[in-house]
Amino acid sequence: MNKLREAINRILQRDGERQPLPRNRNRARFNLRGRLTLVVATLGLCSVSLIGRAAYVQLIGSDFYQKEGDARFVRELEIPTSRGMITDRNGEPVAVSSPVESVWCDPKELIKSADRLPALAQALGMPADELTRKVTQRADKEFMYLKRRINPDAARKIVALNIPGLYSKREFRRFYPQGEAMAHVLGFTNIDDHGQEGLELAFDDWLSGKPGLKKVIRDRRGRIVENIDLVRQAQPGSDLTLSIDRRIQYLTYKELKQRIVETGAASGSAVVMDIATGEVLAMANLPTFNPNAASLGKPDAHRNRAVTDVIEPGSTMKPITVAAALSAGVVTPQTLVDTSPGSMPNGRYRITDTHNNGVLTVTGVITKSSNVGAAKLAAKLPDTYFYDFVKRFHYGEKPGSGFPGESTGVVPSPGAPNWYGTTKATMSYGYGLNATPLQIARTYSALANGGKMFKPTFVKGERSDPEQVLDPKIAHEVLKMMQTVTEPGGTATIASILGYHVGGKTGTARKAGNGGYLARKYVLTFAGVVPIDNPRFAMVVSISEPDIAKSGSYYAGPIAAPVFRKVMEGSLRLMDVPPDDIDSWLAAQARAEAKRAGKPVPVGVAPVIEEEQGEVLH
């Protein structure tokens, strides 16, 4: 500033030494000092104003301007996280999340490059006019998905078009290695990776991760140029280990599907349970669907029929009726029951057997599956006693597995409007009440477990406290009676397994419809336990509406029991369950050896497939 003043003084001094021109003598002298002072003052004032403004912006009003700047360039972005993996009991993955990309746009920005929309539409595989319409309709928005959950390479090619307002983001898509075989157990997720059916829905909170959040700076084209701060760490979902064994599951699905095709049936369900724990080892249903497909098929195929659909259990109820009579002390296993002439009146109807079995023991009532015998046993019991005994096995209640949509079933109670004079008799052989295949499997597990009943579970290691629903001695007696069903003279010899004692019960029931039972429509059920001496597995197979002309039968023995035998043969091998019938196994080995050597085959007891006794109301 001093140098400036000195320069001005020198200029003024030189100017004062000059003589004015004669002809401009009267002209006013030019005041250069004043003008320069004005200019300097003006520039100084501007500098002070700028400094003051800068100080205000940087110190006093910084929050406002920082906010405005951040609103244009700083964004909070969600950090995607994966859903927890689901594995079978052996740690094999049955549901996993794989990374994918979703292409999205800022319609406000994208609409400015309308001339490039045809190229974008071609890359997206959609009509140009459709894309233009969608973008135009959302021109006031800042976000719109264009294509979701696609291969990351495909997404990169689309974004590589470098169209302003076009971006991609990482997401995760669920994949099910077992496909149709485990579809009803696992269910599926929606496009936002939230469970919609099955165990994906039941354990959605457990499996769902918590997305993270980070602050970034974007340039004017929306590209991330700097990561500012991690607001929240992403938390992956928790893994879930199921009680399901994928090997037994696939075997169950394959054999059930094959049988449905062979018999022309409309649908079928199968459940395998671990008797000692209540764990569900396999559960299959048909029709089914592919959870990996873009289209999941008809919603009707999504139902887990083994849990949600009720059936009349037919003669699978007879072991419960016999157990009730034994518990009440009105009979013993050797008590004689006269079933002649193969029918008896029951109100306006008649209870019939397909054969006149004459006089049977209580065990024989199970072996021959006599409706008349079961009804006569029930007649010895008071109505309330029989009802209370059936309720001990939690029929008419949810099984408590936690699976979405569990059905309770229906058990009429004495004195209720749906309890008639004929109800107790028809309930004794499985009509007039209904239950799900899972409920029936739970009951047979209790019979084989010394009368101890567990809640069924789909989670490995999750066990409820067992409930003693039946005296162990009576449970064992009933189990030995059920063994006769699969031995010569029984109704399901086809369910026998070489080297193992097998117990079971067939059940054939007419299918109910509007206004009564449907003509030539049946639900065929086989419930069994193996091995008898050290029970390990309980299995229920239910097949609905077989084509009688195609299958040649409408009895559960030849229709449903083969599925039980094939699945249990495989399961016993897979789980290394030792045989409990060594004698029959050795005899079979001897016959096979003799046959290979060309020697006479020793005469032995050959399995005989007999039709199950009729279980049809007339």
Name the residue with tokens 């030189």.
14
How many Cβ atoms from other residues are within 10 Å of residue 518's Cβ? 13
Query: CA 344, CA 352: separation in Å to the nearest integer?
Result: 7
Query: CA 293, CA 302: separation in Å to the nearest integer?
Result: 13
From 168, 243, 315, 370, active-site residue: 315
Q: Where are the beta strands (DSSP E) in 486-614?
A: 503-513, 516-530, 537-544
How many Cβ atoms from other residues are within 10 Å of residue 50's Cβ? 10
Burial of 524 per CB tally in 10 Å (0-12, 13-18, 19+) = buried
Q: Are 324 and 384 in contact (CB under 8 A)?
A: no
Buried b (16+ CB within 10 A) or exposed e, 543-555: bbbbeeeebebbb
The token pair at 59 is 């110190």
Burial of 423 per CB tally in 10 Å (0-12, 13-18, 19+) = buried
Active site residue 315: yes
Burial of 424 per CB tally in 10 Å (0-12, 13-18, 19+) = buried
β pairing state of 240-241 and 86-87: parallel
Which residues on adjacent β-strands are paired with residue 272? Answer: 282, 539
Q: Are 63 and 136 in contact (CB under 8 A)?
A: no
Apex 336 CA angle, 330 and 341, nearest 5: 120
Buried b (16+ CB within 10 A) or exposed e, 478-510: bbebbbbbbbeebbbbbbbbebbbbbbbbbbbb
Which residues on adjacent β-strands are paired with residue 268? Answer: 286, 543
Query: CA 569, CA 455: separation in Å to the nearest integer?
Result: 25
The token pair at 176 is 């099910």
The amino acid present at 450, given as its one-letter code, is G
Kindly report the backbone phi and psi dihedral angles of residue 196, in degrees, each rounded to the nearest multiple of 5, phi listed first. Answer: -115, -30
Query: CA 452, CA 466: separation in Å to the nearest integer?
Result: 6
Residues in the chain: 618
What count of Cα atoms within 13 Å lies in the side-chain half-sphere of residue 580? 16
Kindly report the backbone phi and psi dihedral angles of residue 451, in degrees, each rounded to the nearest multiple of 5, phi listed first. Answer: 85, 5
Name the residue with tokens 């049977």.
360
Query: CA 398, CA 409: separation in Å to the nearest integer?
Result: 8
Query: CA 116, CA 118: separation in Å to the nearest integer?
Result: 6
What is the separation of C-alpha 591 from the centre of its chain, rounded to a whole number of angstroms? Answer: 47
| Catalytic site positions | 315
